[in-house]
Amino acid sequence: MNLSEIIKHYSFNGKNPSCAPYGEGHINETMVLTFSDSSEKYILQRVNDKIFNVAELMHNITIVTDFIRNKTAERGGNPDEECLTVVKTNDGKSFVQTSDGYYRIYRFINGISYQVVENADDFYRCAQAFGTFANLLAEFDATKLYESIPKFHDTEKRFRDFMASLEKDASGRAKNVQQEIDFVLKRSGYCDRITSLLAAKKIPVRVTHNDTKLNNVLFDEKTGNCIAVIDLDTVMPGSLCYDFGDSIRFGCNTSTEDDTDLSRVNFDINLFKAFAEGYLTAIGDGITQAEKNQLAFSSILMTYECGMRFLGDYIDGDKYFRVSRENHNLDRARTQFKLVSDMERLLPEMEKIIADIK
């Protein structure tokens, strides 16, 4: 990456810009941008143009972040500190294209992201942040958005993609993972549960975040409050069930998403309860009974879907998710399947927890 080739399009006050890798995202290349003579900080990202049409994506991000900034100001908040904010180029553009890719710059939000939930209170607050975010997006006009990744959480489509990967076996790795493949195949009946309810209009299509994992929320390290919901690349039409389920998938794991020791990977039902209470309190009557009825199952579905995506990518030869070691995607798939098995056992209890929240 040639930093000066990027920086020349912007008007920063600081001198001697430099950048260093930052965060734990699987999709974009994220760096923190600093200067030798000022405390100003930014997030510089090389946007993944293999999976996104960058111009369309940045159109979405610009209108969604503008909308959120306005709402935050209306509610008495400080948009510069609490909202994802795109720094525009000297020509007013939201990204730059250089010889080696597409780059965007965000204002740095002073908060930290967690890879594992540290306590139930934090997770309750994270749930409130996502519940409030869902309410905010309810007022957003979906027709203005491109679908940044079509059929993102259409699990039937994800299953077809998985079968195509298996058929092709581009990496020759399928023979190593028959047990994991069987795990996916045995549960193919899960795939159409939410898509068929959406198609029958029994649950509504809404504008949703679609990538609601814990590290896409920034917390204030001192107060423990949530400052901002970030990573808005996948804001597009979806279902509340996807957002709820994806938060549970990541946050109710007692360990990390890629732990190789599965004895540490367990589903924590107390965290499920904390998240459900926070989410449903914040969303209030912005959720229907039919959606509520699917929240516990959606937690299984999103975890199954994500595990299937990790396993499919392992079989493809690690083409989609960023990996930093051999078998990284396989390790990730295994944690997801461990959690699916735990949740299958606990489903009646999870459903009761949801039903008991009035």
Binders in 143-202 for ligand GN1, by CB under 6 A: none
Q: Which of Mg ion, ligand ADP, ligand GN1, none does 12 bind, CB closer than 5 to 8 A by kind? A: none
β-bridge partners, 34:
18, 41
Give long-range contacts, CB 8 A cutoff, 24+ apart: 150-153: 152/210, 152/234, 152/236, 152/238, 153/194, 153/210, 153/238, 153/239, 153/242, 153/302, 153/305
Give whichever of 7 and 339 is closer to ligand GN1, judged by the CB atom. Answer: 339
Q: Is 115 in the site for ligand ADP (CB under 6 A)?
A: no
Which residues, numbered 250-309, are part of the site for ligand GN1 (CB under 6 A)? 257, 306
Binding footprint of ligand GN1, residue count (CB under 6 A): 11
The answer to the question of residue 215 lying near ligand ADP (CB under 6 A) is yes
Sequence-separated (6 or more) residues with CB below 8 Å from residue 63: 144, 145
Site residues for ligand ADP, 29-88, by CB under 6 A, read 30, 43, 84
Of the candidate residues 6, 7, 17, 27, the single one contacting ligand GN1 (CB under 6 A): 27
Q: Do residues 274 and 124 touch, judged by C-beta distance below 8 A? A: yes
Minimum Å distance from CB 13 to ligand GN1?
31
Q: Nearest-CB residue to ligand ADP?
A: 25
Of residues 114 and 140, the one with the C-beta less far from ligand ADP: 114
CB of 30 to ligand GN1, least distance (A): 9
Tell the smallest beta-carbon distance from residue 12 to Mg ion (Å): 24
Say which amino acid occupies 32: V
Helix, strand, coil share of the chain (percent; to 5): 50, 15, 35
Question: What tokens appear for 210 in the block?
Answer: 């679609």
Out of 154, 231, 313, 342, name the contact with Mg ion by CB under 5 A.
231
d(CA 110, CA 218): 8
The interface region with ligand ADP, picked from 119-127, 136-144, 226-234, 333-341 by CB under 6 A, is: 226-234
Question: Quick one: what does residue 257 bind among ligand ADP, ligand GN1, Mg ion, none, with the CB cut-off 5 to 8 Å set by partner type?
Answer: ligand GN1
Q: Which of 129, 126, 83 is nearest to 106 (CA)?
A: 83
Among 213, 273, 334, 338, binds ligand GN1 (CB under 6 A): 213
38-44's contacts with Cβ under 8 Å and 24+ in sequence apart are 38/13, 38/14, 40/12, 40/13, 40/14, 41/108, 42/12, 42/87, 42/105, 42/106, 42/107, 42/108, 43/105, 43/106, 43/107, 43/108, 44/6, 44/19, 44/103, 44/104, 44/105
- Is 27 or 295 the residue whose CB approaches ligand GN1 more closely? 27
Give, as ranges, the residues between 180 and 199 that touch ligand ADP (CB under 6 A): none
CB of 16 to ligand GN1, least distance (A): 30
- Region of residue 320 (left: phi > 0; alpha: psi -120 to 50; beta: else): alpha
Decide: is 247 part of the binding site for ligand GN1 (CB under 6 A).
no
Q: Which residues here bind Mg ion, judged by CB under 5 A?
A: 25, 216, 231
Q: Which residues here bind ligand GN1, judged by CB under 6 A?
A: 25-27, 211, 213, 216, 231, 233-234, 257, 306
Q: Which residues here bind ligand ADP, judged by CB under 6 A?
A: 22-28, 30, 43, 84, 106, 108-109, 113, 215-216, 218, 230-231, 233
